[in-house]
Structure 1
């Protein structure tokens, strides 16, 4: 992989057959801006082309995994038009799906907030290890946005998936996420990365071709069920949502620009009853 110094938003390393990609914008709770998405793709290209790398671990620096796609950047860029939104959403979607489509096994090590686009990224990984303090969810509908990578219905029951997505839940705790089938294992606080790295090192000791071919066989099950076509259709719907624009999203962004992102988030929270 490229030297860690070549990344501005990631910390990357390779040891014992494992590539570790750490999201590193802790001052913004590792919000996924365009620069980070591009660097994730570079890091994945490097990990997948390195014969010494046999497993990939994704984690977040600081207080949490990630708050999702960067709303502050979107507020500043104020994207408009179908073509602009297509480019934004295609990058969001393709980066998330790198972890699903990677020939090598991918493991998410999650602590703290892991919501919206970041939740989708963790779902895209083959294995997700969650610390007890991890919190998951899809709050997009609460501020007039759609879902970029509609993986949740493939991971949870229809009742759970619809409850989280349609009501914009963003406080699903690790134990409940485990019950729903959204994570692979829950570990004590601070043990998520250690556990993920141990699993990855064990995977790295196996015949790499055997692991790659077996993952391909597993993914084929979902391909036969039509996952790629369903995700592409959902992405098209999200593109229509964002291109057209929602009054709720417009109001959210107006408040964010006039006051602050925190003020916009407070406005969003004030509209809904506690559940």
Structure 2
């Protein structure tokens, strides 16, 4: 089964995460296929708006902890840094900056690395049952590799979510401006499609420049530089885990497994 599905019609491309049996947990291969889908949508002149959605009960449970990493005797911080810089930070920034409006349609759990899929999108439509969380402080790491937390939530709410690991409800996310709309679960895809089709009627160059204006303003305020800096801070968590446990995901890994099982 393809882990990523792609279709385009009426100026709207729909990219679908398709690992429902694993709560759309992300393997390296899935991320590479997802990047290929984003690249395809960005290069298709007929596509004016892109929707990212997911099959199954949950948007994404984050990284698939069963995906293969080098063994404890092979792992190095350099390998971790290079791998995460490419597939996590660089991919997410690339998706954020494609020159077309994008919408994430989120249902159920959106955990840790799941945020790195929806936050790069320009708009987020959430089902009423959506929950957003980043519990990786349990692993001795200060947050996911794409640190949108402070920008998306504000500093105090970002600290609360990171310090406690508790999920943010769809309504809470809407209140702080992270989510544009909250809709019934059975209307999630319909609502995202309606919004995409409305946007697709706008002049494409105008959409491109409007997106560039907002993203450039955030970058002038420090968004891009902050993400690069915090990515390096993130790597100190891996360095500490290597020195303590000999493997980056062994620190409190059982806690994380239990949380994912609860999905």
Per the TM alignment, residue 223 of structure 1 is displaced from its structure 2 partner at its CA by 1.1
Deviation at residue 213 of structure 1 after TM alignment: 0.7
From 214, 219, 236, the equivalent of 2:215 is 219
1:161 is the counterpart of 2:158: yes
C-alpha deviation, 1:140, in angstroms: 0.6
Question: What does residue 134 of structure 1 align with?
Answer: 130
Q: Residue 236 of structure 1 is aligned with which of 226, 232, 238?
A: 232
- Counting only pairs closer than 5 Å after superposition, residues 1-275 of structure 1 correspond to structure 2 as 8-73=2-67, 80-90=75-85, 91-146=87-142, 147-169=144-166, 171-245=167-241, 247=244, 253=250, 265-266=257-258
| Cα 1:127–1:89 shift into 2, 3 Å | same
Q: Could you tell me which runs of 5 or more consecutive residues in structure 2 were left unpaired when the two chains were aligned.
A: none
For structure 1, the 5+ residue unaligned runs are 1-6, 270-275
Instruction: Please report the TM-score for the alignment, with normalisation by the length of structure 1.
Output: 0.85
Count the aligned residue pairs: 257
Q: How much does 1:237 deviate?
A: 1.2
Gap change, CA 1:148 and 1:251, over 3 Å in 2: closer
The answer on whether the counterparts of 1:130 and 1:192 sit within 8 Å (CA) in structure 2 is yes
Once the two structures are TM-superposed, the CA of residue 76 in structure 1 deviates from its matched residue by 7.6
- Using structure 2 for the length normalisation, give the TM-score: 0.89
CA distance in 1, matches of 2:186, 2:67: 30
Judged with a 3 Å threshold, the aligned counterparts in structure 2 of structure 1 residues 61 and 76 are, in CA distance, closer, same or farther, namely: farther
User: For the residues of structure 2 that align with 1:267 and 1:205, how far apart are their CA atoms?
Assistant: 42
Query: Residues 70-103 of structure 1: CA distance to partner in whole angstroms, max 9, x if unpaired?
Result: 1121568657212210122111112222331111
Residues 167 and 67 of structure 1, relative CA distance in 2, 3 Å threshold: same
Shift of 1:253: 3.0
SS of alignment partner, residue 132 of structure 2: strand
- CA–CA separation in structure 2 for the residues paired with 1:253 and 1:238: 16
Structure 1 residues 104, 160: CA separation in 2 closer, same or farther (over 3 Å shift)?
Answer: same
* Cα 1:254–1:235 shift into 2, 3 Å: closer
Which has the larger displacement, 25-34 or 140-149?
140-149
- Work out the CA distance in 1 between the residues paired with 2:66 and 2:131: 21
SS in 2 for 1:41: helix
